Amino acid sequence: MKSQFRASAVNASVREAYVEASSFLEACEVQDARVVCELLLQHVLGVSRSELLLTWSEPFPAARATAWREGIQRKAEGEPVQYIIGETEFYGITLGVGPGVLIPRPETELLVEHMMHEGVRAFGQGVQLTLADVGTGSGAIPVTIARHCPAWRVYASDLSPQALAIAQKNAAACGVREQITFFEGDLLRPFIEGRIEVDMLISNPPYIPAREIPSLQPEVRLYEPHLALIGGEDGLEPYRRLCEQLPELPKLPTLVGFEVGMGQAEDVAALLRACGDYEIHFVKDLAGIDRHVIGVREK
């Protein structure tokens, strides 16, 4: 059981409260404890980073002491800081997140950027096209793309009603709710049944093999939804099903972009080649891993 956090100094300054809490989290072996404390401080005090620095020497507000203790304790017990504060940053925007959705990763920012570039290259700047995001989770992918590509018609689907509710709130908060159509359904089934012609398909499906779940970091294994993590016994099941469903669409998408797990790129590329005449290339993440499989075919 984790130690209990008890803020000691009654009249501590904001800085003293920060030092005490970060030392406590470091003792609890929390990664990047000081960064986490700063994020929690901003959230609890309702200030930006620059405003936080201006209040550094002021007394810590007594009215916020309970929320501060609870936030630090939740983090010490392993809960992701994004769930505690209820939001995360993604591609320059703030998105709401909660236990019902996977926390968007920096790798997915690279997928979004690459697919926007590929869309413009294939179709032209400002051209209307239809993009579908499958397994949207928090809505990070469609919300970001809708903001940067206002001429595009964007669709997003997810099997989880809880995830869709969060995604729709994020779309509304970012001013793109009218640009995105959300579907509840399994993978491509809503698009097949709706006879929707998709020009670009993008998906970051669950890709962790079931056998690897026990070895994940506790904050991932215990808090993030397994529905958004586990991709079957070998991690490839969602890609098999997506590629089986692709030919059922009214037309094959011109562009397909998948995020994949480490060591999965070649297998996923083979699945995509088998269901259409796609020219495949890989995009590496910042660690040099083939993280995204991009398929391009003639229009």
Assigned domain for 289 exists: yes
Total number of domains in the chain: 2
C-beta separation of 236 from 263 below 8 A: no
Q: What is the pLDDT of residues 129-176, one digit of tens each?
A: 999 999 999 999 999 999 999 999 999 999 999 999 999 999 999 999
**pLDDT at res. 41:** 95
Whole-prediction pTM:
0.92
pLDDT mean over 281-285: 96
Q: Where does residue 62 rank: exposed (0-12), middle (13-18), buried (19+ CB within 10 A)? A: exposed
**pLDDT at res. 267:** 97
C-beta separation of 114 from 108 below 8 A: no
Residue 229's pLDDT band, with cuts at 50, 70 and 90, is confident
Assigned domain for 83 exists: no
Q: What is the pLDDT of residues 54-112, one digit of tens each?
A: 999 999 999 999 999 999 999 999 999 999 999 999 999 999 999 889 999 999 999 99
Q: How do strand 255-259 and strand 200-203 relate by DSSP bridges?
A: parallel
If asked whether residues 49 and 111 sit together in one domain, one would say no
- Examine the fold and report which residue of 56, 78, 100 is the final residue of a domain before the chain moves on: 78
Residue 3's pLDDT band, with cuts at 50, 70 and 90, is confident
CA distance 93 to 140: 9
Residue 8's pLDDT band, with cuts at 50, 70 and 90, is low
- Examine the fold and report which residue of 25, 55, 78 is the final residue of a domain before the chain moves on: 78
Residue 2's pLDDT band, with cuts at 50, 70 and 90, is low
The CATH number of the domain holding residue 234 is 3.40.50.150
Assigned domain for 31 exists: yes
Q: Which residues are registered as beta bridge partners of 255? A: 200, 296
Assigned domain for 8 exists: no
If asked whether residues 114 and 30 sit together in one domain, one would say no
Assigned domain for 3 exists: no
Q: What share of the chain in percent tops pLDDT 90?
A: 82
Residue 226's pLDDT band, with cuts at 50, 70 and 90, is confident
Helix and strand numbers, DSSP H then E, in the chain? 12, 9
Helix (H) or strand (E) holding 66: helix 65-76
Name the residue range of residue 98's domain.
88-296
Assigned domain for 23 exists: yes
Q: What is the pLDDT of residues 178-206, one digit of tens each?
A: 999 999 999 999 999 999 999 999 999 99
Rounded to an integer, what is the distance from CA 286 to the centroid of its chain? 16
Q: Where does residue 275 rank: exposed (0-12), middle (13-18), buried (19+ CB within 10 A)? A: middle
Assigned domain for 4 exists: no
If asked whether residues 169 and 212 sit together in one domain, one would say yes
Of 142, 45, 162, the C-alpha closest to 95 is: 142
- Examine the fold and report which residue of 54, 78, 102 is the final residue of a domain before the chain moves on: 78
Helix (H) or strand (E) holding 267: helix 265-274
Using the predicted structure, report yes or no on whether residue 278 has a pLDDT greater than 60: yes
If asked whether residues 66 and 102 sit together in one domain, one would say no
C-beta separation of 259 from 282 below 8 A: no
**pLDDT at res. 4:** 83
**pLDDT at res. 228:** 84
**pLDDT at res. 9:** 52
If asked whether residues 248 and 225 sit together in one domain, one would say yes
CA-based torsion, 184, 190, 196, 197: positive or negative: positive
**pLDDT at res. 188:** 97
Assigned domain for 5 exists: no
